[in-house]
Amino acid sequence: MSFVAITSAALLLTACGSGDPDGTDASGVAAKSDEVPTTDVVSAVRKDDAAAKLLPAGTTGLTVAVSVGGTPPGTTYLADGTTLTGQDVDFTKAVARVLGIRLKIEQASFEAILPALDSGKYDFGASNFGVTDERRKTIDFVTYVNDGQGFATRKDSKLAKITDLKQLCGLNVATGAGTTFEATLEAGKHVCSDAGKKAYRVQTYAEPSAIWSSLQQGRSDIVMSTINGLRYAVAHQQGLKFLNEYHRLDVGFAFKKGTKLAPAFQAAVNRLLSDGSYDRILKKWGTTGSAIKESRISPPELKD
């Protein structure tokens, strides 16, 4: 597999870690091959009447929007080229089984999903959406994992652990369009001018393959993305190194503000936590470091 071919749906999403938080170890990643995990961790999930009763009256099916990027643990395709799989897909299907509802999965670009929720085009989104205070102004969330922002670069780079955005001054930073990474980088640009240094340049891409291509070809110096996605890339491709976790975020199903669906989804996630299904999903995707203890509705953004 070429360097450019390492594409991760997680690169277009938002956030969290597994394994050693500061090292380059990628042992928490699901597989050391390019094969997509196929273990069935959903069909054994059973309906929970108590959770189902929390749904708005008459709810029998819902439409979810997902963003497809390329490789696990993000949303991707099985070998048939049509069947969607990934950590978000497994959690979404498992919750639907707990609630006893039909699920219609539609694909959409990552940056288009949240704006479309208010219009009712989708009932909810499931694409590793990080819970931020800015997003909570217009979106409701039900958390199901904890992920975070991190950095990776080429192995021959002299860059080390990034603890302050001033370390990026003068560099080209590649990231996904419409993500929390882009927002974090744009909001922090002033740290360079404040320190009398040349600002870093934020390079945004809609396609994950373009992110890695820019790094390979030297047009970018560093990549900012999800910790799980970066660890997967490092585990599956020579020439990369994971630098560190930068900022953790809870990740949740996204709904339009004021949704009546949140209590049912929260109860469903907590049911998965209690019956063992939750652990099986994380183990399948090698993301046990992203486990939460309980689901919450639109919690405040995690602070470092």
- Reported as a pLDDT band with limits 50, 70 and 90, residue 137 is very high
pLDDT above 70 coverage of the chain, percent? 88
Q: Rounded CA gap, 270 and 114, in Å?
A: 24
Q: What residue has token string 């800015």?
A: 134
What pLDDT, on the 0 to 100 scale, is given for residue 155?
94
What stretches of the chain adopt beta strand conformation (E)? 61-66, 76-77, 84-85, 102-107, 124-130, 139-154, 172-176, 201-205, 222-226, 240-256
What pLDDT, on the 0 to 100 scale, is given for residue 36?
83
- Tally Cβ neighbours within 10 Å of residue 33: 9
Amino acid at 88: D
pLDDT single digits (tens) 52-78: 999 999 999 999 999 987 668 889 889
Q: Rounded CA gap, 156 and 61, in Å?
A: 50
What pLDDT, on the 0 to 100 scale, is given for residue 23?
37
Q: Rounded CA gap, 86 and 74, in Å?
A: 5
What pLDDT, on the 0 to 100 scale, is given for residue 92?
98
pLDDT single digits (tens) 94-110: 999 999 999 999 999 88
- Reported as a pLDDT band with limits 50, 70 and 90, residue 87 is very high
Crossing angle for the helix pair 262-275 and 87-99, to the nearest 10 degrees: 100
Residue range 218-226: mean pLDDT, rounded = 94
pLDDT single digits (tens) 15-49: 333 333 333 333 344 444 456 889 999 999 999 99
Residue 211, token pair as written in the block: 């992110």
| Residue of higher predicted confidence among 232 and 91 | 91
> Count of alpha carbons within 13 Å of 49, Cβ hemisphere only?
0
| Residue of higher predicted confidence among 302 and 26 | 302
Positive or negative torsion for Cα 207, 41, 286, 180: positive
Residue range 169-186: mean pLDDT, rounded = 93
Nearest 5°: CA angle at 183, between 300 and 25? 80
**Does 269 have pLDDT greater than 60?**
yes
Spell out the residues 6+ positions from residue 188 whose beta carbon is closer than 8 angstroms to its own.
Answer: 165
Residue range 114-123: mean pLDDT, rounded = 96
**Does 188 have pLDDT greater than 70?**
yes
| Residue of higher predicted confidence among 202 and 216 | 202
What pLDDT, on the 0 to 100 scale, is given for residue 178?
84
